Amino acid sequence: MTSTQSNNLPLWVQDRDTVIAYSSHAEWRYQTPPDYTRSKENLAKESTCNHLEGTLEAIVQNLVRTFEMEVSFKSNPQQWLSVVSDKFRVSTNGGKEYTAADLSAQGTYNLFIADSEHYKASEESFESSAKIFHSTFPQGFPWEVLQVYSGPPNVTFKWRHWGHFQGAYKDFASTGETVEIIGISVAHVTDDLKILSVEHYFDNNLFLEQLTAGGKLVNSENDKKASGCPFSSWFKGFKKS
């Protein structure tokens, strides 16, 4: 198998499972390759778009999904096929730029959300942040491209991230609601469609407001002693982030 398949598209803009199969010698963060069976089932049922294979939308969607897979599961950035590792930079909402090594060490959640009232990225590791959001969205947190506004080399696209809030978020109760994030990204790519840099734009505060809307769980003696009113922590959950 070569890095350019029979359809003449680079491997990293093809189906994510094809990339995983090709990466047989990758250094996997959890020792084994990821299994996206459940994710594909959720995508088939809940995606709002069905992009035809070979369209610009499908190519961009495959590239970003491959990138997300590699960041999450390949521990060595030099083995990420979707980016130019030594040049890659990523930023969120016009903030600090991070390298591939930064992303590999700290994880997407920590670098994209940063420090705020309801999430302290500086206090979380790659592993702890992944555990928090996997617990919050036990059925997964799928992602899809909604629309592509411009093609290479500067690819601007609108996307949707969503999940069913069925597990507690830190010490906040789940609501059972679907949490959705809509964002815009600009990816600067090479001639062969590897990512040089990407800028993400989305509302961090709105995302965290949805995760704290159920109010705080009162599940410890310290929580009970901290408030004379048994419902006070519940009301605090509605405070704007």
Task: Give residue-wise pLDDT tens across range 25-67.
Answer: 999 999 999 999 988 888 999 999 999 999 999 999 999 999 9
pLDDT of residue 8: 86
- What CATH number should be reported for the domain holding residue 217? 3.10.450.50
Query: What residue numbers bound the domain in which 43 lies?
Result: 11-236
What amino acid is encoded at 84 in this protein? V
Decide which of 224 and 25 is more confident: 25
Residue 232 lies inside a defined structural domain of this protein: yes
Residue 145 lies inside a defined structural domain of this protein: yes
pLDDT of residue 229: 44
Residue 140 lies inside a defined structural domain of this protein: yes
Total domains in the fold of the chain: 1
- What confidence category does residue 198 fall into, taking pLDDT thresholds of 50, 70 and 90? very high
The two tokens of residue 234 are: 């519940």
The two tokens of residue 138 are: 């036990």
Q: Which residues contact 154 (CB under 8 A, 6 or more apart)?
A: 186, 187, 188, 189
Model pTM? 0.85
DSSP one-letter string for 179-227: EEEEEEEEEEE-TT--EEEEEEE--HHHHHHHHHTT-B---SHHHHHT-
